Structure 1
Amino acid sequence: MAKVNRKLATILATDCVDFSKFMEIQEELTLTNLSACREIIDPIIEEHGGRIFHTAGDSVIADFGSPVECVHAAMKFQEALTSRNETVDEGPKLEWRVGIHVDDVITEGENIYGSGVNIAARLEAQCEPGRILLSRIVQEQVQKRVDFIVSPAGTRALKNISDEFEVFYIAKSMDDRCVDDKAPPTRAKETPRVNTKGARKKPRLAILPFTNDGRDQDSDYLADGIVEDLITEFSMIREFEIVSSKTSFDFRDRGEDTAEFAATHKLDFIISGGIRSSGKRVRISLELSEVESGKALWRDRYDRVIEDVFDLQDEIVRTITISLLGEIEISSLQRAKRKATENISSYESLLRGKEMHHRFTKQANSQALEFFDQAIEADPSNAQAHAWKACTIGQGIVRGFLEGDPDKFIGEAMDSIASALELNENDFECHRMLSAVYLSQHEYQLAEEHGRRAYDINPNDPRVLAGYGEVLARLGKPEKGVELLEKALSLDPIPQGQMNSDNRYTDLTLAYFYLKDYERCIEIGKKVEHINFKSWLFVNYSKSELGSFDEKDAYLKQGLEEFNEGDWDLKVDRLHLPNEKTQSDLLEFLNDL
C-alpha cells in the first residue's frame, strides 16, 4: 500500500459572493474587479505563509502552517477589500466571505484532501459577506494570540459532519461583532441532510444537457458527449443515484420546467453548465445546485485543450462528489481504464457514433457503425468503440436496420464484444450485452454472471438494472429483481429508443409474477399502453390465481385476437423462462383459454 502523506494544516476557503449574478449583468467590469480583488488577496496570503492549492477565479482555498497567521491574513485582505469597495465607481462592489478550519489533511503532490478542506469550504458557505467564520478549534488556537474580538455565532448543520457544529465570528472591535447577545445562538443549515427516517437515502442527481455557448453548432455532439460521459462516471458511484442520459436529454428536447422536472424525478441536486469550443480550446462552466433551497452549492469554470477532456471529467466528478459526500466516501471513484482513448480523433469519432446510435433510424445506425469503425481505426485499443459497435449492431438486428444474414451480424457483434473485453475486462457495456445474449440462448447462469459483473461496475445504469433485474427474477431472486427494475423505472422511465414506459412496466409484470405478488402484477400491467404478449400473459395468469379471471374481459379478448396465432409453445419459449414447471403452468393456462 502506498504511503499516505498527512499533516496538520489550517485551511482557508474564500469565495466571491454573487459572482455569477454579476457576470450575467456586467461581465467585463465584474472580471476587472475580480482581478483587482485577487491582486489584493493572493499576495497577502503568501505574505503570511499561506499557499493557494485550489482556485476557480472567484474562489480560493489555501493552507497555512499557523492558524494565527491565517487569521491575520484573512482579516488583512477583508479590510483591504472593504476599503477598495469604497472607491469603486464602475461595476459591482465584490464582497468575499471566509471560512477557516484546522485539521489533519492528506497531501498528494500540490493538492490537499480531507474533511478539513470540506469543513473550511462549508464554513465559508455559511459565512456572511465581508466576514470570517471560524471553527471552534481555530477559535481555541487564536483567541489569546490575536488582538481581534472572537465571538460565538451559534451552531451550524454541516452536511455529513455535524448538526451542531459550533462556529465563531472574528472582528476588529466589539462594534463589528456578528452576534446578538440577547438572542439564542442561531442555526443555519448549509444544505438539508439527505437522510430519511431509518436508513440513509442516497442523494439523487441529474446532469442537465450543457448549452453550446460557441458559434459552431456542429460541436453539439461534443457537449452532449461530455454530458453522457459524466453521467456514466457518476452512475458508477454507489453512493449516488443519477437519472439516465435519456431522461436528461428528454428534459431539454421537451422544454420542461426545471422545478417540475426535479419534482417528477425526486431530485436532490442538479448539475448544469455550458460549453464553448474554439479550435482545440474548450471552456466548460458548471454549477451544482440544491433543489430544495435553489442554492448554488458550487460553481466553477474550466479552460482546457480538448486533449485534456478526460482528466477534466475526472476532476469534475471528484470535485462534485467531495462537495456532496466528503473525501472519505468516494472509494468507488478509483476505477481502472476509465479513459476511452488517449487519441482525440478516436474519441471524437466515438462521440459522433454514440450521437448517431441514439437516433434509432436506419440511416443513423449505418452512420454510427462508420464512426465506430473510424474510432477503432484511429485507435484499435479504444475498448468503448468496440463495445458500442457491438451495441449498434444489436440495435440494427432487433430493429431490422441491417439487411443480410442475421447470423453474420451476430458473429460480428460477438467479435466486437470479445475485442472490447480483451482491452478492458471491466467494460460494463460488454457484460450487459453478454448477459442479454446468454439469456436469449437460455444460458441462465452465464446471463446472471455477466449481469452481476455489469451491475458491480455500474449500479445505476438503467439498462444494467433492467437486464440484471429480469435475470434475477427468473432465477429465484424476484425480490432483488423487483428492486432493480423499480429503480430502472425511476431513473429512466422512458428508455432510449422508446416512446413510453411500456418496456419498464412489462419487465415489472414478469418480476411481480415471479414474486407471486399477483395484485401488484395486475396493477402494473394496467399501465402498459400498447398490449404485448408478455405482460398480457402475466396479468391474466395473475387474475386466474386471484380468482378474478373473467373470460368476457375485453383485455383478455384483445390479446387472444392478437396473439392466438400459431403455437403457444414458441411464444412461451421466447420468454426465456428457466423453470419447466413455470412454463408448464403458463402453457396449461393458455391452452385452456
Structure 2
Amino acid sequence: MDSSHAYRYTAAMSEKTQRRLAAIVSADVVGYSRLMGVDETGTLAAMRAHRAELWNPKIEQYGGRVVGTAGDSLLIEYASAVAAVESSVAVQRGMVERNADLPDERRMLLRIGVNIGEVVIDGDDIFGDCVNVAARLQAIADIGGMSISGNIHEQVGGKLDVVFSDDGEYQVKNIDRPVHVWRWSPTAQVTADGTAASDQPPPLPDKPSIAVLPFDNMSGDPEQEFFADGMAEDIITGLSRFGSLLVIARNSSFSFKGQSIDVTAVAEALGVRYVLEGSVRKGGERIRVTGQLIDAETGNHIWAERYDRNLEDIFAVQDEVTEAIIAATVPEIDQTERERARRKPPDKLDAWDLYQRGLASFFQPENVTLIEAIEFFDRATEIDPGFALAWARAAWARTHNLLNVKTDDRERLLREAREKARMAMRLDPNDPICVLAQGDMMMHTGEHDLGIAKLQEAVALNPNSAEIHYVLAKALDIAGRQEATIEAVERAIQLSPRDAAISRLYATRAMANFHLGRYEAAVAGARQAMHGSNPTPWSSVCYAMALFRLGEEDQAKEAMKDVYANLPQFSLSFARETLSHFAQGTSNNVLETLRRMGVTE
C-alpha cells in the first residue's frame, strides 16, 4: 500500500472509529419475559408509554444519547457522570409514581447500572470495558434502584442530593481489577452519619429464608378463599419440616393478605430471601392452582408451575398440590443456594457457604468429590460447632464414601461417622436430617432393625423429603426387603421427579429388581441410571450382572469395562467388603454372580 492510500485509509478509519470519555447508563426491565407472558399487548403498550412520557424526556433533559435498545433494555451515553446519575434518579423516582396505583403483576421495574470511562465509538455504536462494567452493575443493582462504580461516585460526591450505600468490591467477569460498587434506591433514607439507611435491608439469616404469601383467590367465589388460605398454610407447615429452611410464620406472611404488594418490598419487610406466591381459580368442576418462587435478592423467578385438577375430593386435591409445590420448591432453593455459595470468593465463605459447597460435592458420584464434601462439612463444623446439619452431613458423607475406599479407611470413616452422627443428634434430635444420619450410620454397622426404625422416624418428621425416602430405600435394600425398597424409591421419585440424585434412585430400584430376579427390569433401570446425571459405578455393576443372568455374557463383559474404568479397585474382595453390612442373602447373590462372571479376588 502506498503512502497516499495509507493516509486515506487512516483518515477514513479515524472518521468512523473514535475514543472518548463518557458516562454510560445500562438499564433493564426486571421480569420482562414474565410480563410479556402475562399480557403481551399491555406490556408493549406500557413500555411505549413509559419511554414516551418519562424515559426519553429525562434522557433528553440531561443531554443523553440512546445508543441501543433491545426490547427490555437501554444503553445511554452521557457527557458527564452527574448528568448520567441525575437522569437515572429522575427516571427511577418517576417509575415509583407511575407504578404506585398498579397491581403487582403490571408494575414495570428497572435496574440501572452507571459507569464512566473511555469508550470506542464505531458509527452509532459504543464498545469497551466501560460499557461491559455498566452492564454488570445493572445486573447486580437493586430492583427499582441503581448501582454505580467507584469512579462515578467520586465524580458526583457532594454535587447531588442523592445518598449511596457502599457495597464493597465486586469481581467483574473479564475485568482484571475488582470494581467498587455503590447502591442507591428511591426509598433510601439518610441516617445521622449521612449514609443510606433503607438501601441496606435487614440482615438475612444464615440459612435460606422463605415467606409463603396468601394465595390469591381468582375465582370470584368466596368459598374458594378457604381453599386458597388452606393451601398456603399447608405449604408453610410442610416447608417448616425442612431444617435447612427458615420459614416465616403464617401470622406474619398473612398480614399482606388482600394487598397489592411488591414482592421485593415484602421480602425486605419480613427479612427473607425467597418468596412463594400463587393463586387459585375454580371453573366448574376443575380447579387451577399456580405457584411461583422468587429470589427476592435478584428478582428472578426461579420456579413456576400450574396444576389443573378435577374437584372430586377437594381435600385430596389440596394435599396433592401442596405436596407437589413443596417437592418442587425445596430443590430449587437448594440449587440456588449452592450456586450462590459457588460464586463466593474462598476467603469470604461462612459456615453456611461451606455447607452448601459440601452439598454440591456430595451430589457428585466421584470419590474425589465425596472427599471434598467431607472437607467442606468438617470446615463448617469448625467455624460453627453448633451447626447440627453440618455434623449430620459430615457423618453421612463418610458412610457414602464407604463404597469407594480401602479397608483401613473404611474403619476410620465408620468410626468418624458414628462420632459425628451422635454430635448431630445431641445438637438437634428432632431434625430429620440428623435422625437420618444416625439411621444411616446404624445400617453400616449392621444394626438393620434399629437403622430402619430411625429412618422411618425421619420420614415421619418430614414426609415430603425425597432425600429421606431415598435413604430409607437404600436401607431396605441393605436389609433384604426389596419390595419395600421399590415402594420407597417410587415415593421419592414421585416427590422429586427432577431430583439431582435421580440416577441413584434408578440404580437402587434396578438393584432391588435384580435381587427379585426381575432381570429385564434391572437392565432397563440400570441403563436409565447410567445415562442420567451423576451415575454411580454400581449402576454399571448392576447392569453387567443383570445382563449375565439373562445369558448376555459378552455384553456383560463389555459393561464391566465401564466398572473398572470408573472404579479401578473393583474386585471380588472389594465387593465383599463393600457389602459386608448387607443382609447375607443380598450380598451372597451379588458375590455369587460376580464370581460366575469371572471377577477376580
TM-score (norm 1): 0.41
